[in-house]
Amino acid sequence: MNNSLYNLIAVQFKEFFREPAIIFWALIFPLAIAGVLGIAFTKQEEPVRKIAIIENSLASGSSNLAKLIERNSQATVNDLPSFEFINMTAEEAALKLKRGEINVFIEVAEQDRLNFNFDPLNAEGRLVYLMLENNFLQQDRIHALAVKPITTQGNRYIDFLIPGLIALGIMNSCIWGIGWNLIEGRIKKLMRRMVATPMRKSYFLLGHIISRAVLAALEAALLLIFAYYVFDINIQGSYLAFAVVFFTGVMAFAGIAVFASSRATTTTEGNGIINAIVLPMTILSGIFFSYRSFPDWAITIIEKLPLTMLADALREIFNEGATLANVGGYIAGMAITGLVFFVAGLRIYKWY
């Protein structure tokens, strides 16, 4: 190995450590993410899983149900899994099931039989039932039970997943499609040439946003067609509400993309900023599983994230038949988010 190779290696290290932003995104940010998620997922006590009990005339006199609840009350003493049994109507249970707040509900039938209702394709629902069966049902010799798979539209796991994937697609399409393209244009000196023309700078950004909105709509349409023919999923609520929520979501993430791309001048810095936005929301916003399992203080924050608002609004439209008025709060929240970030990004934008 000669001196020239040593010098080339030294140059690479000097270039790396000369950029404070690169050091932050390459070294400090991964440690911060690992610390936050590690604390969130490992520093928790055994979670209390919520199970709904359907209120009917048979529930109050069920000896099997009484045994199950009594056995659960001893869970902390015997170091067994802990469950919270909540009495509610069938309509309330169906709504909470659609929102991912519960995964199993119990209905007392004739001859003191316990009907366990859950989606067999939902891993958490199956886990809850198996834990009940292993720790409580077999121990107390409760044999009068039946599993009733939930297959109706709106209550399945796939009905929870598809709106979340549409929301995730909007975020990725805007953040990467707009933010990264703008950063790349600055790095390649293309933006300098564009702003030298008589065009308005806001039009330049709006051009990116409008084109990305059209592409995001095409991507969502393909996913909807696939979900309709393969999984029999369709929009149960207002189509107008879906369209407004969709394009408001595009506006929110387009504004964030403009802000995220406002100062980055290297690929490492740009990748770091974009991943700092995309990665936490992908994990926390309940795309693949309900965020209700997080601590209460975390849920309060997660509910305010733009991806959470978008996913929750789409799920209400798809699965609960929501109208435009029902999702008005989500629309206002996303519109304000997009406008604030777009204006802030435009004010601090580095054009060359």
Confidence band for 171, pLDDT divided at 50, 70 and 90: very high
Cα distances from 242 to residues 39, 40, 238, 334, in angstroms, run 36, 33, 6, 14
Query: What is the rounded distance in angstroms from the CA atom of residue 264 to the CA atom of residue 260?
Result: 8
Longest dimension (CA), the chain: 87
79: left (phi over 0), alpha (psi -120 to 50) or beta: left
CA dihedral over 282, 283, 288, 294, signed as positive or negative:
negative
pLDDT at 285 > cutoff 80: yes
pLDDT of amino acid 13: 65
Q: H-helix or E-strand containing 315?
A: helix 306-320
pLDDT of amino acid 39: 57
Residue-wise pLDDT for 40-83, tens only, equals: 555 555 667 788 888 777 777 777 777 777 766 765 545 556 77
Query: What is the rounded distance in angstroms from the CA atom of residue 177 to the CA atom of residue 179?
Result: 6
pLDDT at 336 > cutoff 90: yes
Checking DSSP bridges between strand 114-118 and strand 145-149, what pairing results, if any?
Answer: parallel
pTM of the model as a whole: 0.75
Taking residues 6-34, what's their average pLDDT?
Answer: 63
The answer to whether 261 and 178 have CB atoms below 8 angstroms apart is: yes
Query: Which of 70-74, 78-82, 252-256, 260-264 has the lowest average pLDDT?
Result: 78-82
Query: What is the rounded distance in angstroms from the CA atom of residue 146 to the CA atom of residue 111?
Result: 12
Tell me which residue of 167, 146, 162, 48 sits closest to 102, measured CA to CA.
48
232: left (phi over 0), alpha (psi -120 to 50) or beta: left
Percent of the chain residues past pLDDT 90, beyond the cut: 16
CA dihedral over 138, 148, 160, 315, signed as positive or negative:
negative
Tell me which residue of 149, 182, 167 sits closest to 259, measured CA to CA.
182
Tell me which residue of 139, 157, 137 sits closest to 149, measured CA to CA.
157
The answer to whether 173 and 214 have CB atoms below 8 angstroms apart is: no
Number of helical H runs and strand E runs in the chain: 16, 5
The answer to whether 154 and 236 have CB atoms below 8 angstroms apart is: yes
Residue 130 CA, distance from chain mean position: 26
Range 27-38 burial, b when 16+ CB lie within 10 A, else e: eebeeeeeeeee
Strand partners, 107: 115
pLDDT at 29 > cutoff 70: no
DSSP state for residue 45 in the 8-state scheme: P
Structure tokens at 76: 């902390």
Q: DSSP assignment of 86-117, as one string?
A: EEE-HHHHHHHHHTTS-S-EEEE-GGGPEEEE
Query: What is the rounded distance in angstroms from the CA atom of residue 119 to the CA atom of residue 332?
Result: 33
Tell me which residue of 169, 149, 167, 334 sits closest to 255, measured CA to CA.
334
CB within 8 A of 55, min separation 6: which ones?
A: 87, 88, 89
Domain 49-149 belongs to what topology?
A: D-Maltodextrin-Binding Protein; domain 2 (3.40.190)
Domain boundaries in the chain?
49-149, 158-348
pLDDT at 26 > cutoff 70: no
CA angle 127, 98, 245 (to 5 degrees): 135
Query: What is the rounded distance in angstroms from the CA atom of residue 307 to the CA atom of residue 285?
Result: 6
- CB neighbour class for 289 (10 Å; exposed up to 12, middle 13-18, buried from 19): middle
